[in-house]
Structure 1
Amino acid sequence: MGDEYAEYLRRHGNLYAIGEHCSILTSTVFTDPQYVRIGNNVHFSSCTLIGHDGSIAMLNRAYNAKLDSVGKIDIRDNVFIGFNAIVLPNVTIGPNAIVAAGAVVTKDVAEGDIVAGVPARPIGRVENLVKKLQTSTQILPWADLIHQREGGFDAELEPQLLKQRVAHFYGPTG
């Protein structure tokens, strides 16, 4: 689903640019898509990218001013942005970075960082997470199925994979 929506946005979404092999859930919000550049292999969960300061209209009226505050959002290659994360204007993320669920990104995320929290702060490194997951995946009861998969989802293996996972978590069902 996310792959198809990314392709739709590439053609009709008015984004500044979008790379290859991206996945974007339809619930992802781009307030100002023209200011968003997306690299290759970027995955968006249900998150929000805000390209402007929403308080400007109120400030202009309250102070009889003529203010403006917009900014680019530059998502580099190999980035994941988690559920309910918010990315504010004038931010570059990555490459090779993860934004945790619920994080509020107010400043740049360095290459290889994992960030979480409000405001988002570094909590780890992607390369360390990959090493940890490589080790833990090898000892899973369904590790052989993971290695047989064609890509991230294999319709033929998923029912068996689901059954093994549920049995592992809750015990065998009758």
Structure 2
Amino acid sequence: MLKKLIKFIFPIRFIRLVVMGANNFIYFNGLYKARPKVYALDRNGKSLYLSNIIDVSHWDKLDIGNNVFIWHFTTLDTFNGIRIGNDCQIGTRVGIFTHSSHHSIRYYNKKYHEVYFDDHKGRVKGSVEIGDNTFVGANAIIMPNTKIGKGSIVSGFSYVQGEFEDFSIISGNPAKRIGDVRKVDYRFLKANPDLIDSYLDYFGLDSLEELKSYTV
């Protein structure tokens, strides 16, 4: 009955217009109609595939590449800058953070909220960079001062901080480089030769034998 009444008073198109224009209606819309959905968008000439329920703190501090996919319930704390390269995929419930107060809260305790947050001593802060064609699995946490090289895989539920070279398989808590993606790719491409040329061209390799040289 309530849904019928709302539909009668507020046509769906009007509700969507209000939601787009006023943040205070977003939660109401979530209760009534909105479902998690990925939208294909064109932003500054780039094709993006973004969930309607990701949380980006500062869009102007997000440097996002072309053909990037970000799934539902993911949080991007861009306060100190996040760069996501081309052709990346970010899974559901991923947290990418450029600051953390996990030390400051102890040092300031009761006075924590009396000091402007960016002036807190002990505050961990720094940018995050994710290289081209990298996959970040569900529920992974990426902390400040992290740089992940191109063509990498971050396993789900990993806690990631630090620098990782290209083609890393990253897993664990704390996360470590546990392998090289190119070993997996070489075996796969041997069995699927129709994809070889596209792969070699994308990563600037001359032949499958060159890829094999990285698997030793």
Global fold match (TM > 0.5): yes
- CA contact under 8 A between 1:78 and 1:94: conserved in structure 2? no
Distance across 2 between alignment mates of 1:9 and 1:22? 15
Structure 2 vs 1, CA of residues 5 and 107 (structure 1 numbering), >3 Å: closer, same or farther?
Answer: same
* Paired residues for 1:46-125 under 5 Å: 46=92, 47-62=94-109, 66-67=120-121, 68-125=123-180
Which residue pairs with 1:131 in the alignment?
Answer: 186
Q: Percent identity?
A: 24
What is the Cα deviation at residue 26 of structure 1? 2.6
Structure 2 vs 1, CA of residues 124 and 50 (structure 1 numbering), >3 Å: closer, same or farther?
Answer: same
Which residue pairs with 1:152 in the alignment?
Answer: none
Describe the SS at the equivalent of 1:41: coil
* Segment of structure 1 superposing worse, 88-97 or 54-63: 54-63
Equivalent residue letter for 1:38: I
Structure 2 vs 1, CA of residues 93 and 113 (structure 1 numbering), >3 Å: closer, same or farther?
Answer: same
Distance across 2 between alignment mates of 1:98 and 1:51? 20
Normalising by the residue count of structure 2, what TM-score does the alignment of the two structures yield? 0.55
What is the Cα deviation at residue 111 of structure 1? 0.8
Q: How many residues align?
A: 139
Alignment partner of 1:35 is 2:81: yes
- CA contact under 8 A between 1:6 and 1:22: conserved in structure 2? no
Distance across 2 between alignment mates of 1:9 and 1:20? 19
What is the Cα deviation at residue 137 of structure 1? 5.8
Describe the SS at the equivalent of 1:5: strand
Distance across 2 between alignment mates of 1:136 and 1:27? 36
- CA contact under 8 A between 1:13 and 1:33: conserved in structure 2? no
What is the Cα deviation at residue 96 of structure 1? 1.4
Alignment partner of 1:26 is 2:72: yes
Describe the SS at the equivalent of 1:130: helix
Which residue pairs with 1:4 in the alignment?
Answer: 49
Distance across 1 between alignment mates of 2:164 and 2:146? 8
Distance across 2 between alignment mates of 1:27 and 1:136? 36
What is the Cα deviation at residue 6 of structure 1? 7.2
Structure 2 vs 1, CA of residues 119 and 57 (structure 1 numbering), >3 Å: closer, same or farther?
Answer: closer
* Segment of structure 1 superposing worse, 83-92 or 123-132: 123-132
Distance across 1 between alignment mates of 2:68 and 2:61? 13
Distance across 2 between alignment mates of 1:127 and 1:6? 30
Which residue pairs with 1:170 in the alignment?
Answer: none
Structure 1 runs not aligned, ≥5 long: 139-145, 148-174
Normalising by the residue count of structure 1, what TM-score does the alignment of the two structures yield? 0.67
